[in-house]
Amino acid sequence: MTRGDGHAQPTTSRTHSPPPGGGRDRAPRLLWAPQAWIDGRWRDAAVLETGSDGCWRSITTGQPPPADAAVLDGPVLPGLVDAHSHAFQRAFAGLTEQRAAGRDDFWSWRDRMYGVALNVTPAELRRWAARLYSELLLGGYTQVCEFHYLHHDRDGQPYADPLTMCTALADAADDAGIGLTLLPALYERAGFAQPALRDDQRRFAADPARVIALRDGVRALGRPRLRAGVAIHSLRAASAEAIDRLVDAVADDGAPIHVHVAEQTGEVDDCLAATGARPIEWLLRRHRPDARWHLVHATHALPGEIDAVARSGAGVVLCPGTEANLGDGLTDVPHWLSSGTPLSIGSDSHVTRAWPEELRWLEYGQRLQLRQRNVCADPAVAGGSTAQRLFERALHAGAAAAGFAHWGLRAGARADLLVVDAGDSALDELPAGALLDALVFSSPTRPFAGVLVAGRWAVEPAPRGASGGDAARR
């Protein structure tokens, strides 16, 4: 392939098969961990029992290891949801960090990204997505929300099977062993004043009827770790009337609705010119989002808009690694937190692929801007721990963004967990109260020794006494 800027685009020689994520064998029915993150704090000596349905049957603490339990070498955390992903952009990571001339910003990056989008085949999408999803597992994510708009063949014509690209992503998730929430996106125009798509957007076209058909087709696949909701690419990419039709069509559906909004100041200016209102203001006034809605980025949100989003019940998905890489700007994280808005995180373009790094960027951006420390902490919450406050928000909001009513280490939730590699030099000999802070801010090189998804090992821990966790990752 070649990119839209004429440079070499990754070919199959760079598109490797994903590393195997362990045997993905069902874990023993009983697991024992020295500590487990339950209800927002560490609990000692946890016995975790999985059911045949892939959910937690029971979790108790303060117990010695049962004779038939698998004893885990490190503390365990619930997996997080990666609430915003464009898997095909993984093929592009690292290839846009040079500027030949002029100004380089989000819009010039987007034009080059379209060159990737125009050329990727279903087989390449599956390979790149499987590689990405394996990386996300190692980064502590056990479910990923795929904001999917790469619908058609390279000439812009529908595939004979409209689910071709959705199936490629679902297959990739199965290859890796991760859970997937697919969000086919409404996409019908190039901008507020451009009623049609640009030629280099031809693969993205989808009206409300097509979005609903894709959602229903994904659900009909019947795969146990696969869910589906819907997405609206952005207010600039879909007319208000089309958004209304899609929202009406999902009125009785409790699945999530995701939308990019207010990521760029240029988008804010264009929305003002076209509608007389800023994007978040217009969204709240015209479409009245509720708790099913998740506003992706919301970078340029005014204080009153943040409060209005909080009152609506909608959540926000922040992607600090990508937002930094693209030069989007910084949103007002302390205000989002204090407003009570559900706040999840996403890896978006996948220049970063681990939640500890995303949370670190979330806090460090505020520190750099405000010249303060522990900006996102609240002395009245989690003992003033920055990492604990951000992790808890991302844990619960991410579950809603992926369409789960129950999540975490609790009976009835899907049996997902992360085994912390306590032998990593950045974590060694730390007291439990500092472990989550160190995971985020001490930069461990291999934070997770094992990853369980729906009661099966996606990354299997090394046997007790083995050196490190590398053996499980080969």
CA distances from 179 to 80, 141, 219, 332 (A): 11, 9, 14, 30
164-176 helix and 122-138 helix, angle to the nearest 10 degrees: 30
- C-beta of residue 227 within 8 angstroms of C-beta of residue 175: no
What does the alpha-carbon distance between residue 56 and residue 38 come to, in Å, rounded to a whole number? 13
Where b means 16+ CB within 10 Å and e means fewer, 393-425 reads bbbbbbbbbbbbeebbbeeebbbbbbbbbbebe
At CA 108, angle to CA 356 and CA 262, rounded to 5? 60
208-220 helix and 164-176 helix, angle to the nearest 10 degrees: 40
Strand bridging mode 226-228 / 257-261: unpaired
Q: What is the DSSP track for 332-345? A: -HHHHHHHT--EEE
- C-beta of residue 18 within 8 angstroms of C-beta of residue 90: no
Name the phi and psi angles at 262, rounded to 5.
55, 40
- Among all residues, which ones are annotated catalytic? 297, 348
Residue with the two structure tokens 């290891």: 65
Which stretches does DSSP call E strand in 72-188?
76-77, 80-85, 141-148, 179-186
What does the alpha-carbon distance between residue 150 and residue 203 come to, in Å, rounded to a whole number? 6
